[in-house]
Amino acid sequence: MNYKLSNSLDTEVDILLSFNKDEVDTVMIKDLTGLPDFQFNGELDENLMLFTDSGNKVFLLGLGEKNEKCKLRSAFQKFAFRHFKYLQKDLQVDLRNFGDDQIIDALTGLTMASYQMGVFKTEKKDIPEVKYHFLSERSIDDQISEGVAVGESINNIRALIDAPPNQKTPEFLASHVTASAKKHGYKCEVKEKATLEDEGFGALLAVGAGSKNEPRLIKMTYTPKEGADIDIALVGKGITFDSGGLSIKPSQNLHYLKSDMGGAAAVIGAVELVAKLKLKVNVIGIVASAENAVDAESFRPGDVIKSYSGKTIEIIDTDAEGRLVLADGLSYVIKNYKPKRVIDLATLTGSVVRTLAYSAAGMFTNNEEMANSLKQIGENIDEKVWQLPLYKEFESDLHSDLADIRNFSNKPIAGAITAAKFLEAFTEDHDSWLHLDIAGVSFGDSEFSKMKSASGYGVRLLVQYIKTLS
Ligand code: BES
Ligand code: ZN
Ligand code: ZN
């Protein structure tokens, strides 16, 4: 980001002032604009553009009630996104009353506003970079860099989720992570099909069998504390396109199933950001990636497959594929690395969307401490989670006569819960496992695009949680 720091207001340059509700500094605004009156009281996301006598712009941004500070990131993102065409000169941003976290959030929002979706347009709009001047009476370079780092990692995963499925194959995700690892100082190892076969990743291979784009298991390792245990493992569902397989989905809105790797993207963004911020936490990220395609080679409803854990699975529905790739990812990382905590993220079920709509991720865990921590962080940053139960009585819904377990209850009820119960069977009785079903929050409608697009959900939630472990 191109920026300058200064400690006092320059009336020769455009300025952005932000205020909480009913805390608007009317004297300052009257001094700047000469206006006797203006209608602005700092409601959340309220924007007003005024002018000084010499024709410079004075933008006002409402931050809402003080306890809505969690929405500061999106208020800044929306402001800059809405006003890009007016931000072509230098813009001073008054951060003089902001604490460290508020500066980070504001910078994250401004950075997120510059995300460009039209990467495949033949005629690209040439949008000049905004030249920011940040006003503060203290040194805030570190907070600015952190906010930009957060925003850039989020934008990187938004680009992955929004990318078309003919581009983002499992191999493409693996190359993306390999490049990110090199750039940001963490390790990446990719297991290709032959290795997956040798090592027994039967569930991941079954899901990917119908696609010429072969599956990959991508392992990210960031371990600054040499010789110490893995503090946390993150596992992401990386289905680059979910046609449903032979249990094929209806065609309406099928194009949106390119976003079925939102869990993988959150894991990729979080590990990248932890490495950029050099947090003193040992982290492993696993992406289990495949394309769920329709083909003569596709796995079938009725098949029995053998997972990495050794457990056999009867396939009832090939559209319940996310839990299969996660099963192999979870048991692989738990058996081989014995991490202290495990969080998996997946756009796993339509059921969670019917339950919580677009408001929160469904959270399932056997560890109440982790649950409370994520709930608190989620509320603070507006990436909410809502806990749902893992009752034992759902176990019988996954009973198979032929195999150890089946992948779908075949009942139209409690789909997010039975999916989580399925995953639980592959956690090797780990006592600190938490599953987030992010199908409703990872990708959806917003003012930033005409069709559905990636929200970037999960990166800040995971990294703020990981910060509490350092
Ligand atoms: N990827 C889908 C879930 C999904 C649907 C995410 C829509 C985002 C938007 C998942 O693989 C799936 O198909 N789930 C089925 C499971 C069922 C067949 C057991 C579902 O939830 O309907
Ligand atoms: Zn599916
Ligand atoms: Zn899926």
What single-letter amino acid sits at 147? Answer: G
Among all chains, which residue has been given the structure tokens 């100082």?
185
Per-residue pLDDT tens over the stretch 431-449: 999 999 999 999 999 999 9
Contact 306, 200 (CB under 8 A): yes
Q: Which atom of ligand 1 is nearest to the CA of 249?
A: 13
CA of 121 to the centre of ligand 2 (A): 30
d(CA 91, CA 57): 9
| pLDDT tens profile 342-359 | 999 999 999 999 999 999
CA pair distance 130, 2, nearest whole angstrom: 7
Ligand with the closest atom to the CA of 245: 2
The CATH number of the structural domain formed by 2-136 is 3.40.220.10
**How far is ligand 2, taken at its centre, from the CA of residue 422, in Å?**
14
C-alpha distances (whole Å) from 160 to each of 49, 102, 150, 417, 444 are 34, 27, 16, 28, 15
Whose CA is closest to atom 22 on ligand 1? 350
Taking each helix axis from N to C end, the angle separating 459-467 and 262-276, rounded to the nearest 10 degrees, works out to 40
Percent of the chain surpassing pLDDT 90: 96
Q: In angstroms, what CA-CA distances link 282 with 221, 271, 278, 328?
A: 8, 10, 10, 21
Q: Looking at ligand 1, which atom is closest to the CA of residue 292?
A: 11
Q: Which residues line ligand 1 (CB under 6 A)?
A: 242, 260, 317, 319-322, 347, 349-351, 408, 415, 439
Q: Residue 69: pLDDT band by 50, 70, 90 thresholds?
A: low
Percent of the chain whose pLDDT exceeds 70: 100
Nearest bound ligand to CA 409? 1
Q: Which atom of ligand 1 is nearest to the CA of 407?
A: 19
Q: Where are the domains of the chain?
A: 2-136, 149-467
Backbone phi and psi for residue 79, each to the nearest 5 degrees, phi listed first? -55, -55
First to last CA, the chain: 28
Rounded to whole angstroms, the Cα distance separating 99 from 92 reads: 18
- Residues 124 and 118: their CA atoms lie apart, in Å, by 7
Tokens standing for residue 92: 């001073």
Measured in Å, residue 375 CA sits from the centre of ligand 1 at 24
The per-residue pLDDT for range 75-123, each reduced to its tens digit, is 999 999 999 999 988 999 999 999 999 999 999 999 999 999 999 999 9
To the query of whether residue 158 is one of the catalytic residues in this protein, the response is: no
- Mean pLDDT value across residues 250-258: 98
Equal CATH topology for 2-136 and 149-467: no
Å from CA of 260 to ligand 2 middle: 8
Domain 149-467 has CATH 3.40.630.10: yes
pLDDT of res. 2? 87
Residue 376: per-residue pLDDT: 97
DSSP letter, residue 425: T
3-state helix, strand, coil in the chain (%, to 5): 40, 20, 40
| Helix (H/G/I), strand (E/B), else coil: 258 | helix
- By most ligand atoms within 8 Å of CB, the mutation choice from 253, 292, 319 for ligand 1 is 319
Residue 324 · residue 407 · CB < 8 Å: yes
345 within 8 A of 263, measured Cβ to Cβ: yes
The rounded distance, in Å, linking the Cα atoms of 444 and 452 is: 4
* Nearest ligand by distance to the CA of 317: 1
Residue 151 DSSP one-character state: H
User: Which of 71, 216, 323, 384 does the annotation list as catalytic?
Assistant: 323
* pTM, rounded to two decimals: 0.98
- Cα angle for residues 104, 108, 112 (degrees, 5° grid): 175
Angle at 88 (CA atoms; ends 86, 91), nearest 5 degrees:
85
Mutate to test the pocket of ligand 1, among 237, 242, 443 (most ligand atoms within 8 A of CB): 242
Angular region, 55: left φ>0, alpha ψ -120 to 50, beta rest: left
Q: Identify the band that residue 126 occupies on the pLDDT scale cut at 50, 70 and 90.
A: confident
Q: Whose CA is nearest to atom 19 of ligand 1?
A: 320
b/e map 163-195, b = 16+ CB within 10 Å: bebeebbbbbbbebbbebbeebebebebbebee
- CA nearest neighbour of 88 among 126, 145, 47, 53: 126
What is the distance in A from the centroid of ligand 1 to the CA of 320? 6
Block residue for tokens 């139960």: 389
66 — pLDDT class (breaks 50, 70, 90): confident
The verdict on whether 278 is a catalytic residue reads: no
Instruction: Mention every residue, 6+ apart, whose C-beta is less than 8 A from residue 368.
Output: none
For the stretch 166-205, pLDDT in tens is 999 999 999 999 999 999 999 999 999 999 999 999 999 9
